[in-house]
Structure formats: C-alpha cells, structure tokens
Amino acid sequence: QVQLVESGGGLVQPGGSLRLSCAASGFTFSNYAMKWYRQTPGKEREWVAGITSSGRFRNYADSVKGRFTIFRDDAQNTVYLQMNSLKAEDTAVYYCNTRVTLDYWGQGTQVTVSS
C-alpha cells in the first residue's frame, strides 16, 4: 500500500533553515509527481510546492518562492523540501502528497518558527 512518511520538522528561529523529508513506499516513486502542502489550525490545507516525476519541473506558492526548494532522490524514494529564511508565518504542519489514482497523504511534520 502507498505510504508517505514525513520527517525533519522542529522548532527554528526566524531566518533559520530546515529540510523536510518524505519517504515513500508502495508505488513506483519515479513515475509520480510529488507535492508539499501545509496547514495551520482553523485554515484549509495550502499547497506549497510541487515537482514532476522527472524532477525537471518544479513550482512554488508565491509565499515561499525564492526561499523553499523542492527536490527528489528517486534512488531513495524520497522527496525533500529545503526551507530557508523561515518566517513565523511558515509555522504549520507540513504534509507530502501524491496522487496514485487516489490522493495519498503522510501524517505530517510540525514546523514552528519562533524566537
């Protein structure tokens, strides 16, 4: 079965960096696009970044463009989100996502940006 497991979240000061990982299993990872979303309490889940199956094309929400980078390692079946210049408003639970006929989500990893 499809499984996505996020890791790498934590507490970081404003201006700091974190790298999130999402380990995938149960499907042919290299055939599928991957996405990152985030959610804060009381708000809808927000798309953050996406990468195509080839890794050739990436796109980002305006709110993170220039600060976040999505990339993938097909040998490790893992997608990453490198987050730099973090701001308080980046605080959220971050989820990875793929669509293999259905949408699949991981359990999420908490990112807190605070001094």
Calculate the alpha carbon distances from 6 to 15, 16, 18, 62, 115 in Å: 22, 20, 13, 23, 24
pLDDT band at 92 (very low <50, low <70, confident <90, very high): very high
Name residues whose C-beta falls within 8 Å of residue 34's C-beta, 6 or more positions apart in sequence: 22, 24, 50, 51, 70, 72, 79, 96, 97, 98
| Among the listed residues 27, 31, 66, the one whose alpha carbon sits nearest the alpha carbon of residue 52 | 31
pLDDT band at 69 (very low <50, low <70, confident <90, very high): very high
- What's the rounded mean pLDDT across residues 100-114? 96
**Tens-digit pLDDT profile for residues 7-66:** 999 999 999 999 999 999 999 999 999 999 999 999 999 999 999 999 999 999 999 999
Helix-strand-coil split of the chain, %, nearest 5: 5, 55, 40
Residue 44 CB neighbour total at 10 angstroms: 7
Letter for the amino acid at 60?
Y
Distance CA 11, CA 18 (A): 9
